[in-house]
Amino acid sequence: MTDRIGFIGLGIMGQPMARNLIKAGHPTTVWNRSRPGIDAVVADGAEEEASPAEVARRSDVVITIVGDSPDVEEVTLGRDGIIEGAHEGLVHIDMTTMSPEVTRTISDRLAEASVEMLDAPVSGGDQGAIQGTLSIMVGGKDAVFERCRPVFDVLGKKVVHCGPSGSGQVVKLCNQVAVSLTNLAVCEALTLCRKAGVDQERMVEAVGAGAGSSWQLLNLAPKMLARDFAPGFKIDHQQKDLRHALATAATFDLPLTGTSLVHQLFATVQAEGLGAEGTQALVKAIEKLAALEE
């Protein structure tokens, strides 16, 4: 039997993810805070509901991908939230990147209403969402994960059950630490190359075929060189994720020195009013430190 899907949060990531579920044959009901997202997926065959609670009532699985922990709490536990549309067998999959601690709190509250929850943040950016090739990191009960695997398989090509509730969020924060520091390495390599007067495109071609290659080098470096700072993933969103990573590390008295540095470098770009640009705009901070003009 094909699951009835509820989808809440129709932004850069949510719209293409909802479309892929519709294309896969899942009856899909949606809610969003703003009209453009709703209108876009309704045109593709989704149905609209008036609130998260109404979406939940009509669904077997409700997916949320919104801004941050307070947004998830609001659409899940707030007035007209998912919990008010709770029914036996309902599963809530939250794909927002947020606090592991808040995730576990929400999961416990939903369990009291007989709703199972999986935290399932994603990596792969807007292109991964469009192509259905996201990496999905899942926390929650194993049986619930297996029950929802057909839904995950529509959205991603790599789906890993990471452990109990909150584990998916922890793994996603580890991903963001690795992503942001690799991004910084690419920015510094490009800046060194430019300062030395060597062709940057040839450097990317050479390094991209060797041990120094990375997703960031192959995908973000060409955008940096083209001065294309349109967001596949916004700096503001990256900063939110890094704040959660640093806060989680602090609970273990764990210093993340590299993460703290890149967090501050991104902050210098935000201070220029550029937080809505893509994370490749980190190169502007490194160029500024190097006294390089655009």
Ordered by start, the domain boundaries in the chain are 5-164, 170-289
CATH class of the domain at 5-164: alpha beta
Nearest of 90, 89, 88 to residue 76 by alpha carbon: 90
240 is catalytic: no
The answer to whether the 5-164 and 170-289 domains have the same CATH topology is: no
pLDDT higher than threshold 90 for residue 229: yes
pLDDT of residue 33: 92
Q: What kind and span of H or E run contains 134?
A: strand 134-139
3-state SS class at 265 = helix
pLDDT > 90: percent of the chain: 95
What token pair was written down for 285? 């901070």
Half-sphere exposure (Cβ direction) of 78: Cα atoms closer than 13 Å: 9
Distance, in Å, from the CA atom of 53 to the CA atom of 97, rounded to the nearest integer, reads 22
pLDDT > 70: percent of the chain: 100
pLDDT higher than threshold 90 for residue 246: yes
pLDDT band at 157 (very low <50, low <70, confident <90, very high): very high
Pick the CATH number of 170-289 from 3.40.640.10, 3.40.1550.10, 3.20.20.140, 1.10.1040.10: 1.10.1040.10
What's the pLDDT tens digit per position in 96-107? Answer: 999 999 999 999
What token pair was written down for 35? 């009209």
Residue whose structure tokens are 């709190």: 105
Nearest of 6, 81, 94 to residue 51 by alpha carbon: 81
Task: Measure the CA dihedral 123/230/179/201, to 10°.
Answer: 120
pTM of the model: 0.93
What's the pLDDT tens digit per position in 72-96? Answer: 999 999 999 999 999 999 999 999 9
Q: Which of 172, 223, 284, 288 is catalytic?
A: 172
